Structure 1
């Protein structure tokens, strides 16, 4: 049975992510019956995930505010406010935020990628443990759970 779902801020989960950035899960597998994940990043300058590819989902990034460099395979692109990138599964990619802050919308289909963020990130509704960090090992474990392959360091 297909049903509409309305996501309100008090229902959304915000996770501390790489380099002190935040990732808010707006719509997850449960809300969309496995169809898609929608999330929003609030990220500082310099934030860059490892170069990676997804084997299970296609991604779209929409840069709502800020500037970034985006690598798709061997190509490097500058992305500015309002720019969008479509990343089919199995295409290596990465990005680096070049503005002071960025507001980045993520859409992935099918849903499930949010579990990677939940596994490695920290729910901001709970107290922050001393020394919290997302280690390379923890990030690699989280990525592997969702069929994401880390293929190189951040660019």
Structure 2
């Protein structure tokens, strides 16, 4: 079964391309799935989800996941769990990486979409973004920054 919504269109988020694959409205809020495609060195700030469990599945590329005080090296087909309330992030180690992130319960995908910029053309450069504004808007979704992005 396929779910098509306005948010299924690709959008720029924190310098990478994202796409909501399964919105929370399709699962009565039980979960959502978001795809992220990021370039080498991409790493979101260390952050904590107060409401959601998060599972990452690496579709393509090599990624280091940071969960609490652990660093987990993953490649295509590997998965990792980011429990709610535990600081986590990731770092792309390959030229590009594509991840699917499952959030349970759903809702955080609305924050990604609200802070994204639509992708106009497949070969366009990533859209700029205001990290302070994105972080400030995260409070309404019980997401908070716990530290800087991880580095190699």
TM-score by length of 1: 0.86
TM-score by length of 2: 0.87
Matches within 5 A, 1:23-38: 23-38=18-33
* 1:6 maps to 2:2: yes
Match of 1:18 in 2: 14
Matches within 5 A, 1:130-145: 132-145=127-140
How many pairs were matched up? 146
2:10 alignment partner, SS class: strand
Aligned-partner Cα distance in 2 for 1:98–1:36: 28
Match of 1:73 in 2: 68
Question: Cα gap change, 1:29/1:8 in structure 2, threshold over 3 Å: closer, same or farther?
Answer: closer
* Structure 2: stretches of 5+ with no match in the other structure: none
* Structure 1: stretches of 5+ with no match in the other structure: none
CA deviation after TM superposition for structure 1 residue 124, in Å: 2.4
Greater shift in the superposed pair: 50-59 or 7-16? 7-16
Q: Which runs of 4+ in 1 moved over 3 A?
A: 8-11
Matches within 5 A, 1:46-65: 46-65=41-60
